Structure 1
Amino acid sequence: MSNLRFSSVLIILFFFHTTSAQTAPAAPSGPTNITQVLEKAGQFTTFIKLLKATQVADRINAQLNNSNQGLTIFAPTDNAFASLKSGLLNSISSQEQLQLVQFHILPNLYTVSQFQTASNPLQTQAGNGGDGQFPLNVTTSGNQVNVTTGVVDASVANTIYSDSQLAVYQVDQVLLPLALFGAPPTPAPAPAPTRPEKNVRAADSPSSTTPVNTSGVLGLIGLRGKGAILSVAVIAVTASCLWL
Structure 2
Amino acid sequence: MELKPAVLAVAVLCLALPRVALSQKKALAGGPAPAPAPAPRHVDLAELLSLAGPYGAFLGYLTKTGVIATLQSQANSTDGQGVTVFAPEDSAFAAIDGAALSNLTADQLRTLMLCHGMPRYYPLSSFSALAASSPVATFAGGPQQYGVNVTDAAGTIRVESGWATAKLVSSVYSTPPVAVYALNRVLLPEQIFPTAPKVAPVPAPAPAPEPVHPDKANDGAAAHGSTDAKSVSCRVGAGRLLAILATMMATSVLMI
User: In 2, Cα distance between the equivalents of 1:120 and 1:30?
Assistant: 32
Asked if 2 retains the 8 angstrom alpha-carbon contact of 1:158 and 1:170, the reply is yes
Does the C-alpha gap of structure 1 residues 58 and 93 become closer, same or farther in structure 2, counting only changes over 3 Å?
A: same
Asked if 1 retains the 8 angstrom alpha-carbon contact of 2:112 and 2:188, the reply is yes
Q: Which residue of 1 aligns with 2:139?
A: 125
Please give the per-residue CA displacement for 1:98-150, whole angstroms capped at 9, x wherever unaligned.
Answer: 100000001111111211011111100111132xx424101102321111113
Does the C-alpha gap of structure 1 residues 137 and 97 become closer, same or farther in structure 2, counting only changes over 3 Å?
A: same
Q: Which residue of 1 aligns with 2:83?
A: 71
Asked if 1 retains the 8 angstrom alpha-carbon contact of 2:169 and 2:182, the reply is yes
User: In 2, Cα distance between the equivalents of 1:86 and 1:149?
Assistant: 19
Residue 30 of structure 1 and its aligned partner are, at CA, apart by 4.1
Q: Which residue of 2 aligns with 1:80?
A: 92
Asked if 1 retains the 8 angstrom alpha-carbon contact of 2:157 and 2:168, the reply is yes
Q: Which residue of 1 aligns with 2:106?
A: 94
Q: Which amino acid in structure 1 is aligned with residue 50 of structure 2?
A: E
Higher helix share: 2
Asked if 2 retains the 8 angstrom alpha-carbon contact of 1:107 and 1:124, the reply is yes
Percent identical: 32
Residue 69 of structure 1 and its aligned partner are, at CA, apart by 2.1
Residue 63 of structure 1 and its aligned partner are, at CA, apart by 2.4
Does the C-alpha gap of structure 1 residues 109 and 74 become closer, same or farther in structure 2, counting only changes over 3 Å?
A: same
Q: Please list every run of at least 4 consecutive aligned residues from structure 1 whose deviation after the TM superposition is greater than 6 angstroms.
A: none
Q: Which amino acid in structure 1 is aligned with residue 177 of structure 2?
A: Q
**TM-score, with structure 2 as normaliser:** 0.57
Residue 66 of structure 1 and its aligned partner are, at CA, apart by 3.3
User: In 2, Cα distance between the equivalents of 1:178 and 1:58?
Assistant: 25
User: In 1, Cα distance between the equivalents of 2:97 and 2:81?
Assistant: 35
User: In 2, Cα distance between the equivalents of 1:112 and 1:183?
Assistant: 32
**TM-score, with structure 1 as normaliser:** 0.60
Structure 1 unaligned blocks of 5 or more: 1-28, 186-244
> Greater CA radius of gyration, 1 or 2?
1
User: In 2, Cα distance between the equivalents of 1:63 and 1:109?
Assistant: 10
User: In 1, Cα distance between the equivalents of 2:84 and 2:77?
Assistant: 16
Structure 2 unaligned blocks of 5 or more: 1-39, 198-256
User: In 2, Cα distance between the equivalents of 1:166 and 1:94?
Assistant: 27
For residues 23-172 of structure 1, the aligned pairs below 5 Å read: 30-67=41-78, 68-118=80-130, 119-130=133-144, 133-172=145-184
